[in-house]
């Protein structure tokens, strides 16, 4: 099974961008990754079982290409995460805080959390996509959640203590 490129762009461009951005933390690089991924799909003769297979393949290719980008010397010497997140408009400060905390997670946890929560992928599918065991995916999700909970609790405690000091 193959789908027309135009249809894939309409359906998966945002998903691929989000997955790539999660790895390389740079909007321009993520856009390049999406284009390269779609070009690879277009130029390959690979046949797929169904649309879910296509989506999983696209996500795996995008994540691998984004990892390649992060390994390049040029990328490692560009800008900080704080500078990058100023390019993304957030309507709710809490969503921005949560996004910042997710982006500060180590890559292995950040990618697993993105695929599970934002792409609604099952553990089994994430394992195939990342080419790791299901147990490893569960471990990454659990540790990522624990780190997020710990960091968000620290931020909440710091906010409360700051308010107490201001009032006193």
Predicted TM-score (pTM) of this structure: 0.67
Residue partners of 115: CB distance under 8 A and separation at least 6: 19, 59, 121, 125, 126, 129, 130
Rounded mean pLDDT of 49-74? 89
- Taking the C-alpha atoms of residue 44 and residue 136, their distance in angstroms, rounded to an integer, is 30
Percent of the chain with pLDDT over 70: 81
pLDDT of amino acid 66: 94
CA 168, chain centre distance (Å)? 42
pLDDT of residue 70: 84
Examine the pLDDT at 79 and tell me if it is beyond 60.
no
The tens digit of pLDDT for each residue in 7-21 reads 999 999 999 999 999
List helix spans (H) across the chain: 5-24, 27-43, 51-71, 73-76, 81-85, 93-103, 107-113, 123-130, 134-167
Give the pLDDT of residue 28.
92
Q: What span, in angstroms and rounded, lies between the C-alpha atoms of 145 and 39?
A: 34
CATH class (in words) of the domain with range 91-168: mainly alpha
CATH class of the domain comprising 1-88 = mainly alpha
- Domain ranges for the chain, please list them: 1-88, 91-168
């Amino acid at each position: 099974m193959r789908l027309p490129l135009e249809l894939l762009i309409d359906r998966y461009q945002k998903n691929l961008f989000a997955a790539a951005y999660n790895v390389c933390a740079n909007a321009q690089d993520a856009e390049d990754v999406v284009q390269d991924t779609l070009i690879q799909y277009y130029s390959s003769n690979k046949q797929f079982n169904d649309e879910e297979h296509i989506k999983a393949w696209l996500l795996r290719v995008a994540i691998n290409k984004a990892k390649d980008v992060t390994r390049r010397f040029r990328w490692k010497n560009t800008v900080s995460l704080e500078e990058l997140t100023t390019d993304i408009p957030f309507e709710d400060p809490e969503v921005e805080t949560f996004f910042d905390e997710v982006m500060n997670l180590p890559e292995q946890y950040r990618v697993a959390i993105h695929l599970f929560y934002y792409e609604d992928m099952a553990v089994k599918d994430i394992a195939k996509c990342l080419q790791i065991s299901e147990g490893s995916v569960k471990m990454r999700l659990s540790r990522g959640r624990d780190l997020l909970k710990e960091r968000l609790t620290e931020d909440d405690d710091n906010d409360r203590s700051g308010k107490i000091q201001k009032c006193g």
